Amino acid sequence: MPDLSHLAAVQESYDTVASDYFDQVKPPAELDPLSRGMLNVFAEVVRTAGLGPVADLGCGPGRVTAYLAGRQVPAFGIDLSPAMVELARGAHPDLRFSVGSMTSLPIEDDRLGGILAYYSTHHTPPALLPVVFGEFHRTLAPGGCLMLAGHVGPDQHLRPTRAYGGHPVSYASYLLPPDRIAELLKQVGFGLTARLVEEPREGTERAFATFLAHKPERP
């Protein structure tokens, strides 16, 4: 059995910061044009393919889920934090949100037309990423699309003590090189469609990467 002890720290930390996270993190409409553009590309791909619903995994307060739904994508959200899910349900009562872990998704095989993991996998220890990416692959329908976006770096292991309004947190963050993330996706069976690596933005030290991948059609 894999060691999932990190999940308790992630859940407790995001339950603690949920309200300030909601106030501080920009909604998609206020993101930079490149970030919005990638979300729009993903929305068009999954909407056109029409293979099934789209899961926003690590959805937080549901703003990106709602952004996709506003572009005619049948999206729903899953998050490890009950406090985040409560905020999402309150802000977007017309959409479906539930508590769950990316390490064991409550979704049938080949069910989803798309998966969005938007800045939501960096708290996963690198040794467990094959488990998480394997769940992504298992639940996507053949031909389904994955969009994975987040911070990247030279194998950095960060342990912040406070975040979002100065609240105490106990999670860790792992920033991996883009090539390593791409290789892990390929190892579980994904075909890589595209990757975009952005340099650190003004006032930050972290680079960003977005990956579009697909689950190959069956022969």
| Cα-based angle 9, 11, 17 (whole degrees, multiple of 5) | 100
Residue 98 has pLDDT above 80, yes or no: yes
What DSSP element (H or E) covers 164?
none
**CA 10/CA 127 separation, integer angstroms:** 16
Q: What phi, psi does 120 have (nearest 5°)?
A: -130, 0
pLDDT at 203: 66
Residue 170's Cβ-count burial label (10 Å; 0-12, 13-18, 19+) is middle
Please tell me the distance from the alpha carbon of residue 175 to that of residue 125, in angstroms, as a whole number.
10
Residue keyed to tokens 């959805």: 59
- Residue 111 has phi, psi (to 5 degrees) of -95, -30
What are the beta bridge partners of residue 22? none
Query: In the sheet where 54-57 sits, what is the strand order?
Result: 97-99, 75-79, 54-57, 112-118, 140-152, 207-214, 191-198
Specify the residue for token string 């990190």.
Answer: 6
User: What would the mean pLDDT of 151-175 be, rounded to a whole number?
Assistant: 95
Owner of token pair 């883009």:
178
Backbone angles phi, psi at 186, to 5 degrees: -65, -35
pLDDT tens by residue, 164-207: 999 999 999 999 999 999 999 999 999 999 999 998 877 667 89
What pLDDT score does 219 carry?
77
Q: Which pTM was predicted?
A: 0.96
Could you name the CATH architecture of 6-214?
Answer: 3-Layer(aba) Sandwich (3.40)
Q: Which residue has the tokens 């993991």?
A: 117
- Please state the domain extents for the chain: 6-214
* pLDDT for residue 218: 83
pLDDT in tens, 12-38: 999 999 999 999 999 999 998 999 999
Q: Cα(74)–Cα(93) distance, rounded to whole angstroms? A: 14
Q: What pLDDT score does 53 carry?
A: 98
What's the rounded Cα separation, in Å, for the pair 16 and 164? 9
Output the pLDDT for position 68: 98
Report the distance separating Cα 92 and Cα 88, nearest Å: 6
pLDDT at 147: 98
Half-sphere exposure of 73 (CA within 13 A, CB side): 31
